[in-house]
């Protein structure tokens, strides 16, 4: 009879990380339910929320693009200095 060995450490890590954020998931769920109720009561609120979301995501993407560009330049400089040495 053969014995199989499964390394469960990666799954333990994922389970620990997810369970550490239970309060975050709970608060997000409550906030989204309240937001849904608010949109049903005040439909014009949806327009402002969508606009705010688009602006926030746009700012995040511009910032991310800028940082990726900066990291790539730093990596290219490091690679160049290593290859020249």
Q: Taking the domains of the chain in order of start, what are their residue ranges?
A: 9-84
Q: What is the pLDDT along the chain (85 residues), one digit of tens a residue?
A: 556 677 778 878 888 877 888 888 899 999 999 999 999 999 999 999 999 999 999 999 999 999 999 999 998 988 888 888 7
pLDDT at 18: 76
pLDDT at 22: 85
pLDDT at 2: 58
pLDDT at 10: 81
Q: Is the dihedral of CA 37, 38, 44, 45 positive or negative?
A: negative
**pTM recorded for the entire structure:** 0.54
- Size (the chain), residues: 85
Three-state SS at 85: coil
């Amino acid at each position: 009879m053969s014995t199989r060995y499964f390394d469960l450490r990666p799954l333990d890590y994922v389970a620990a990380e997810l369970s550490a954020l239970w309060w975050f998931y709970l608060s997000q769920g409550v906030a989204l339910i309240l937001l849904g109720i608010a949109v049903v009561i005040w439909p014009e609120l949806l327009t402002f929320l969508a606009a705010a979301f688009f602006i926030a995501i746009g700012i995040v993407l511009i910032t991310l693009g800028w940082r990726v560009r900066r990291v790539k330049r730093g990596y290219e400089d490091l690679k160049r200095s290593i290859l020249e040495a």
